[in-house]
DNA sequence: ATCAACTGCTTATACGTATAAGCAGGCCGT
DNA sequence: ACGGCCTGCTTATACGTATAAGCAGTTGAT
């Protein structure tokens, strides 16, 4: 118990203190059933362990048992948001309930096989990683290091024979957003796709959902690849203006359309935009306001994530919210099954149901 | 290399494959200098290791050497933002440069000594944790488990004889924000303090910086404890309005003050608010706009963090930005010194310089 | 020719734990 | 009285690694 004793106490130290053998200490402290040990001895051992401040050596245990109970979750290069952090916390809780220890591991600087090797050193029982990182070779390294479950996180449509996958149905999110925009009378649907590395793939999936809805409703569809900057967003608006003046010769330059009543033969074209997420929606709305567009009059905007900022935008942002509540539990459960069952690459799980949160931007 | 070979290859397997002893494998793969091993043998060993897909067993190594090279960073209960994630990534990079492996560990569900025990099992070489978690007993557990460096993250003013501390000078942030507000002619200074658990303490420190500046300038100061909700913010504005009509009998109700020229004897009272961070600033600005206050005309607002959203608010948000660039490197360096030096509880480090980013909200 | 020093390895051991196997003593049935 | 079974332990071992110590063969100095 004294600070800076030379060496941490071992189970053997505890054994000596309690006057029993080291094996007995192990049996007692691990509550191993089937072993016949008197209650009195059990108490003596526990008391000795407490007195010495004994903490088991995870490395030694791993060496002996062959597995660590660790679940490795590499920190990925997606911009972490409130949402992702919440999911991680919930997943941590669920995994610990099942007896695992979740660990997050900075993985940005290592790639491919090198990263896999680094992960494998800890002999985790499972690795959860972004699907695109799990190349054939990387997975081979993990498996040959004895890691039971390798779970890839990806988007629906990504598939792998080599690992279990947990996917998120991004296309369905696009559909939900777009259906809502169509119901609000938008005569044009636009999907914004971020250019950032970690986000782009999801953006494309969401966009294709929007496209499907546009096709079903016979409404023109455009996809815009957008960097997260006001300049890029403004450039997009310039294109829109050009398209407007070219398409319908209603009004050119200056005030676009009086918003009083749509009495004229052609209703004013209302654009519907699914902005990929709430951050992009905020960017878009700021630039729209700067350029005299009215929301939702000229342009209806739907975000995604239902971040706190969604409620604070004016108009308040309509957005798609994930149901985070149950997903981590399902994932943890599936992972446990893979570990226990020993099957590989069988599971296909789609998580995260979602719902539209209707506010004032549409 | 084949998937699901029964057992992961060990250094002994590599040794057999290369026709040398296990010791030689260890010497070669760890690049141990001082050992005389021919280049030809070295090559043979490395090739064999590659062929077998050998990955060292971190647990065994830890057991043998007595230390793991792991630096444990418990995930704390503060709301994680872009900033915190950025810092973690940078810290990870710096630590790995020094030969450590940073690991983030979900710690929310365990408290005090129990948490310390869980950390200690991994025999990390260092633990970085929020200062308030590091009770005397918890630190004892960590030290007696052989952990060299225990570093507490806290605010300036928090102090400990038992661990090294890295603090952030929140008061100085408040001073910077308030000085700017004063220079902009604010006749009242208000500091907002969040009520959330992890944030409150920092908020109080920042507020006391604002208070100091207010005192120095002979300007009234108020502190407002605010929950992150529109209702709470609106309630605060109600109080302000009452104070206005009571204090100066200039104008009651309706249009507060024409903003053309301040020709009258009394200039219109301009409030300066340091909103704790950008999120709170956004909340405040939304509610201010809803209630007919003009920013920066009636109220000047300063945020903190320089989040992407700061640029997207209208008016664009003046904010305090941390200089994140060098801090993690300094912290990593200090940690390394503590580990190497073996001193305990000596270091006192204050990090994170900051600067005002002037925009349109003041 | 002899001994020392160097090269390029090998052999042996310890780290802390979990667990299979064994063993002393008491009790019971016949 | 003697084997068999139960209780409550102990003894012995293996996990994979790093490293101290040792050792055969060669080179170089005297």
The pLDDT assigned to A76 comes to 61
The 10s digit of each residue's pLDDT in B34-75 is: 888 999 999 999 999 999 999 999 999 999 998 899 999 877
The 10s digit of each residue's pLDDT in A178-231 is: 999 999 999 999 999 999 877 898 899 999 999 999 999 999 999 999 999 999
Fold of B171-323: Rossmann fold (3.40.50)
Shortest CB distance from A63 goes to which of B59, B85, B290?
A: B59
Is residue A265 scored above 70 in pLDDT? no
pLDDT bin (cut points 50, 70, 90) of residue B342 is low
Shortest CB distance from A80 goes to which of B61, B80, B230?
A: B80
Shortest CB distance from B92 goes to which of A106, A162, A290?
A: A106
How many other β-carbons are positioned within 10 Å of the β-carbon of residue B63? 19
**For A37 and D7, how far is CA from C1' in angstroms?**
8
What number of CA atoms fall less than 13 Å from residue B69's CA on the CB side? Answer: 19
Alpha carbons B160 and B131: distance in angstroms, whole number:
9
Q: Give the residue from B146, B125, B30, B16 showing the smallest Cα distance to B73.
A: B125
The CATH classification number of A11-56 equals 1.10.260.40
pLDDT bin (cut points 50, 70, 90) of residue A49 is very high
Residue nearest to nucleotide C12 (CA to C1'): B23
Q: What are the b/e assignments for A121-156, b being 16+ CB within 10 Å?
A: ebbbbbbbbbbebbeeebbbbbbbbbbbbbbbbbbe
Is residue A146 scored above 60 in pLDDT? yes
Pairing of strands A318-322, A354-357: antiparallel
The pLDDT assigned to B30 comes to 94
CB distance from A113 to chain B under 8 Å? no
Give the range among A84-88, B231-235, B258-262 with minimum mean pLDDT: B258-262
Q: Give the residue from A112, A110, A151 showing the smallest Cα distance to A129.
A: A151
The CATH classification number of B66-169+325-354 equals 3.40.50.2300
Contact flag B144-A5 (C-beta cutoff 8 Å):
yes
Alpha carbons A217 and A187: distance in angstroms, whole number:
9
pLDDT bin (cut points 50, 70, 90) of residue B88 is confident
Is residue B352 scored above 90 in pLDDT? no
Is residue B344 scored above 60 in pLDDT? no
The pLDDT assigned to B155 comes to 66
The pLDDT assigned to B203 comes to 94
Contact flag B313-A88 (C-beta cutoff 8 Å):
no
Contact flag A8-B144 (C-beta cutoff 8 Å):
yes
CATH code matching the domain that covers A67-169+325-355, chosen among 3.40.190.10, 3.90.1150.10, 3.40.50.970, 3.40.50.2300: 3.40.50.2300
Alpha carbons A264 and A94: distance in angstroms, whole number:
59
The pLDDT assigned to B251 comes to 37
Is residue A163 scored above 80 in pLDDT? no
Phi, psi of A318 (to 5 degrees): -70, 135
**For A337 and C7, how far is CA from C1' in angstroms?**
54
Bridge partners of residue B101, in order along the sequence: B70
Which residues 213-242 of chain B have a CB within 8 Å of chain A? 228, 230
Q: Which CATH class is domain A171-253+265-322?
A: alpha beta
Q: Is the CB of B20 under 7 A from strand C?
A: yes
CA distance B182 to chain A (A): 27
Beta strands in B149-304 (DSSP E): 149-155, 164-168, 188-194, 221-226, 271-274, 299-304
Which residues 115-154 of chain B have a CB within 8 Å of chain A? 117-118, 120-123, 139-141, 143-146
**For B160 and C2, how far is CA from C1' in angstroms?**
68
CA distance B361 to chain A (A): 15
The pLDDT assigned to B265 comes to 46
Answer yes or no: same fold for A67-169+325-355 and A171-253+265-322.
yes
Alpha carbons B33 and B30: distance in angstroms, whole number:
9
**A254 DSSP 8-state letter:** S
Is residue B191 scored above 70 in pLDDT? yes
Q: Does residue B111 or residue B246 have the better pLDDT?
A: B111
The pLDDT assigned to B358 comes to 97
Pairing of strands A126-130, A101-106: unpaired
What percentage of chain B carries pLDDT values higher than 70? Answer: 85
**For A111 and D6, how far is CA from C1' in angstroms?**
58
> By three-state DSSP, how is residue A24 classified?
helix
The 10s digit of each residue's pLDDT in B107-166 is: 666 777 888 898 999 999 999 888 877 888 888 888 888 888 888 877 666 666 667 777
The pLDDT assigned to A67 comes to 87
CA distance A240 to chain B (A): 21
The pLDDT assigned to B13 comes to 96
**For A175 and D3, how far is CA from C1' in angstroms?**
79
Alpha carbons A138 and A95: distance in angstroms, whole number:
24
Q: What is the CA radius of gyration of chain A?
A: 28
Pairing of strands B299-304, B221-226: unpaired
User: For chain A, how many residues are written?
Assistant: 362
Those residues with Cβ within 8 angstroms of residue B119's Cβ, 6 or more apart along the chain or in another chain:
B72, B74, B105, B107, B127, B142, B147
Beta strands in A157-236 (DSSP E): 164-168, 188-194, 221-226
Alpha carbons A94 and A329: distance in angstroms, whole number:
6
Tell me, rounded to whole angstroms, the distance of Cα B117 from its chain centroid: 24
The pLDDT assigned to B329 comes to 86
Residue nearest to nucleotide C18 (CA to C1'): A64
The pLDDT assigned to B84 comes to 72
Alpha carbons A106 and A86: distance in angstroms, whole number:
18
Shortest CB distance from B105 goes to which of A103, A311, A344?
A: A103
Enumerate the domain spans of chain B. 11-56, 66-169+325-354, 171-323
Alpha carbons B125 and A249: distance in angstroms, whole number:
71
Q: Give the residue from A168, A144, A91, A162 showing the smallest Cα distance to A336.
A: A91
Give the range among A112-126, B166-180, B255-269 with minimum mean pLDDT: B255-269
Is residue A45 scored above 60 in pLDDT? yes
Shortest CB distance from A314 goes to which of B289, B309, B311?
A: B289
Is residue B254 scored above 60 in pLDDT? no
pLDDT bin (cut points 50, 70, 90) of residue B85 is confident
Q: Does residue A168 or residue A244 have the better pLDDT?
A: A168
Chain A residues in contact with B96 by the CB 8 A cut-off are: 106, 109
The pLDDT assigned to B111 comes to 74
How many other β-carbons are positioned within 10 Å of the β-carbon of residue A342? 10
Those residues with Cβ within 8 angstroms of residue A265's Cβ, 6 or more apart along the chain or in another chain:
none
CB distance from B314 to chain A under 8 Å? yes
Is residue B259 scored above 50 in pLDDT? no
Is residue A81 scored above 70 in pLDDT? no
The pLDDT assigned to A33 comes to 86
Q: Is the CB of B59 under 7 A from strand C?
A: no
Mutate to test the interface with B, among A6, A46, A57, A339 (most CBs of B within 10 A): A57
Is residue A232 scored above 70 in pLDDT? yes
For A94, the token pair is 């669920």
Give the range among A239-253, B223-237, B320-334 with minimum mean pLDDT: A239-253
Chain A residues in contact with B94 by the CB 8 A cut-off are: none
Mutate to test the interface with B, among A107, A128, A144 (most CBs of B within 10 A): A144
3-state helix, strand, coil in chain B (%, to 5): 45, 20, 35
Phi, psi of A338 (to 5 degrees): -60, -45
Q: What are the b/e assignments for A232-244, b being 16+ CB within 10 Å?
A: ebeebbeebeeeb
Averaged confidence pLDDT in chain B = 85
- Say which residue the tokens 């919930």 belong to: A90
């Amino acid at each position: 118990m004294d600070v800076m004793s030379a060496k941490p106490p071992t189970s053997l130290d505890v054994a000596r203190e309690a006057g029993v053998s080291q094996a007995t200490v192990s049996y007692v402290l691990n509550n191993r059933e089937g072993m016949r040990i008197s209650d009195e001895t059990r108490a003596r051992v526990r008391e000795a362990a407490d007195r010495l401040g004994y903490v088991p050596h995870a490395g030694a245990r791993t060496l002996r048992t062959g597995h660590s109970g660790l679940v490795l979750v590499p920190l990925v290069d997606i911009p972490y948001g409130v949402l992702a952090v919440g999911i991680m916390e919930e997943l941590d809780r669920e995994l610990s309930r099942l007896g695992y220890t979740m660990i997050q591991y900075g993985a940005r600087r290592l790639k491919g096989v090198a990263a896999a090797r680094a992960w494998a050193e800890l002999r985790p029982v499972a690795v959860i990683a972004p699907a695109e990182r799990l190349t054939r070779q990387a997975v081979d390294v993990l498996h040959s290091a004895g890691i039971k479950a390798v779970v890839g996180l990806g988007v629906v449509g990504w598939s792998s024979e080599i690992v279990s996958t947990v996917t998120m149905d991004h296309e369905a999110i696009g559909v939900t957003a777009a259906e809502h925009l169509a119901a609000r009378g938008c005569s044009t649907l636009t999907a914004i796709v971020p250019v950032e590395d970690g986000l782009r793939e999801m953006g494309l999936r969401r966009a294709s959902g929007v496209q499907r809805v546009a096709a079903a409703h016979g409404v023109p569809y455009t996809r815009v690849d957008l960097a997260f900057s006001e300049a890029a967003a403004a450039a997009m608006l310039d294109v829109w203006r050009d398209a407007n003046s070219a398409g319908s010769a209603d009004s050119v330059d200056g005030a676009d359309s009086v918003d009083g009543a749509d009495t004229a033969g052609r209703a004013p074209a209302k654009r519907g935009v699914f902005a990929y997420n709430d951050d992009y929606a905020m960017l878009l709305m700021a630039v729209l306001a700067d350029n005299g567009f009215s929301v939702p009059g000229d342009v209806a905007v739907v975000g995604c994530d239902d971040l706190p900022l969604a409620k604070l935008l004016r108009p308040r942002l309509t957005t798609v919210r994930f149901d985070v509540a149950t997903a981590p539990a399902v994932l943890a459960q599936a992972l446990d099954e893979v570990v226990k069952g020993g099957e590989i690459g069988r599971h296909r799980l789609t998580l995260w149901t979602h719902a539209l949160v209707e506010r004032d931007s549409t």
